[in-house]
Chains A and B, each alone.
Chain A
């Protein structure tokens, strides 16, 4: 609501006048933003600039490092795909529940997010470990879970799947029942509605949920080292290699850390490009 142009002298005489107040206000706003952003940027920048990049990347050649990278990629991709498949039905169900049922399922899905990962690891060990309630039965059938690469996937799935489920649930909830009714009236089966209406409408959210799951799984440490153990080539993912590497040789830890930062960045970039493509279509 700008008034016409009062003379500058008049403007200055209005205490806390709108224009003056506006300018001072926005500067304060920026100042308030700096601490948080700086806190997030400086450690990452420090990490990337700590050492000569050439020296650091030379460490990536080492056998153990390459194993950790390969294992991380394999398990994290597997986890994300499984989360997509088993998590989508749960996410679809959640908005359709009411009252106590809804709260119960929501709490169950929220719990792994809030739980400290080490606790998740112990819980998984007591369940699927060799003497665990389920694990003992599996052992009798000759199936061992702990200390295998499958255990790594299970640990990642436990802590990361809820991220996808929650994001997807919100997206599914946002689809108006009128849309689905319209499709039904046109003769579409429930499955066809899901495939051709619901999924396309929620594609962005599902994608971002998968990205969250991927990122959380990639960084998973506590549950992995307790439940799956730590063996290069089989269960030593990048975060474990960084942790152990940190104790022996800072350079190895740095190399892996920088790689993880780069991967995270790449994932974010790819997501953004995909989403942009979506919007442009």
Chain B
């Protein structure tokens, strides 16, 4: 019954994986015997950081090919739940990792937190209404895009609004005002950022890690105070029935290593194991 959908999903997954990573390294496998392809399902916010880590992985293990599939974590976990084939899953929240666990794709106790992320408000250049402080988001006439509810950053944005409603400095009026300004619920965090960069929307809520040097120059940012912010925890785990478990485990180890943690820090994440990062 499910095979038709699984085939379709595999085609989609393979198609998107081919676009990412994957330089064929010609060389002899290392004595450790890690070779072959490693299919990594990773949250969209990890695009730059994991591409760099993937390249390093292929350098350290010639004969391997890292295929990165970036999408909203909710889409990846649904694909895994329906049987898509992958070796590693890195999610932007524990809910999506848990769904994969519940469907037997991830071993119990296997996920490990490898990074944290926090929310930040991005504002387009020349918004239709001036936005200088957080409270301005509720001003009428503003267009705001958030990620859709099942997307981790969308869920965190909702939590931020709820926390703000409970905070006397902002109140329920703030949440209602912001909600009334929402014009679209995007399917992943990068789409939110792009719409703000394009100036199609005045403001959006993304992860602080989404701001590369280039995109940061194209928008202005408003920090969200810790009390209202959600510190997202990103879990990573090898997929239980991976066809390349040694390489999968090695990739996870690289992400958690001092090198991987430094790359994540460079790209705006809060590393989970900062003590391991060598001083610059």
Contacts and interface: CB of A to CB of B under 8 A. Distances in A.
Interface-centre pick from A131, A234, A235 (highest chain B CB count, 10 A): A131
Contacts, number: 59
A220 B189 CA distance: 22
A244 B150 contact: yes
A220 to B, nearest CB: 16
Nearest to A228: B184
Contacts of B184: 147, 229-231, 235
B148 interface: yes
Interface string A227-271: 001111011100000011011101000000000000000000000
A250 B182 CA distance: 26
Interface stretch (A15-23, A42-50, A195-203, A209-217): A42-50
Given A43-B4, A244-B185, 11 more contacts: A125-B198, A131-B199, A146-B200, A147-B200, A230-B184, A232-B185, A244-B148, A244-B150, A247-B150, A248-B149, A250-B78
B185 A231 contact: yes
Contacts of B148: 230, 244
B200 A247 contact: no
B186 interface: yes
B200 A129 contact: yes
B102 to A, nearest CB: 14
A48 to B, nearest CB: 11
Interface in B61-118: 72, 74-75, 78
B183 interface: yes
A9 to B, nearest CB: 50
A50 B1 contact: yes
A236 B5 CA distance: 23
A147 B183 contact: yes
Interface of B: 1, 4-5, 72, 74-75, 78, 128, 143, 145, 148-150, 182-187, 195, 198-201
13 contacts: A42-B4, A43-B4, A49-B1, A50-B1, A125-B198, A129-B198, A130-B200, A131-B200, A229-B185, A243-B187, A244-B148, A244-B187, A247-B78
A225 B198 contact: no
A131 B198 contact: yes
Contacts of A235: 184
B187 A230 contact: yes
Given A50-B1, A125-B200, A131-B199, A248 B185 contact: no
A202 to B, nearest CB: 38
B183 A231 contact: yes
A61 to B, nearest CB: 19
Interface string A174-216: 0000000000000000000000000000000000000000000
A49 B150 CA distance: 27
A257 B263 CA distance: 42
Interface residues of A, number: 25
A173 to B, nearest CB: 39
Interface of A: 42-43, 46, 49-50, 125, 129-131, 146-147, 225, 229-232, 234-236, 243-244, 246-248, 250
A77 B242 CA distance: 47
A108 B39 CA distance: 41
Nearest to B202: A130
Contacts of B149: 248
A4 to B, nearest CB: 53
A243 to B, nearest CB: 7
A244 B184 CA distance: 13
B200 A46 contact: no
A225 B195 CA distance: 12
Contacts of A43: 4
Given A42-B4, A231-B184, A147 B143 contact: yes
Contacts of A131: 198-200
Contacts of A247: 72, 74-75, 78, 150
A50 B82 CA distance: 14
A43 B208 CA distance: 42
A277 B148 CA distance: 47
Contacts of A129: 198-200
Contacts of B145: 229
A85 B50 CA distance: 51
Nearest to A44: B4
A46 B183 CA distance: 36
A230 B78 CA distance: 20
Contacts of A244: 148, 150, 185, 187
Contact of A230 (B5, B72, B75, B186): B186
Contacts of B198: 125, 129, 131
Interface-centre pick from B5, B128, B183 (highest chain A CB count, 10 A): B183
- The 8 lowest CB-CB distance pairs between A and B, nearest first, are A229-B184, A147-B183, A131-B199, A248-B150, A247-B74, A43-B4, A129-B200, A247-B75
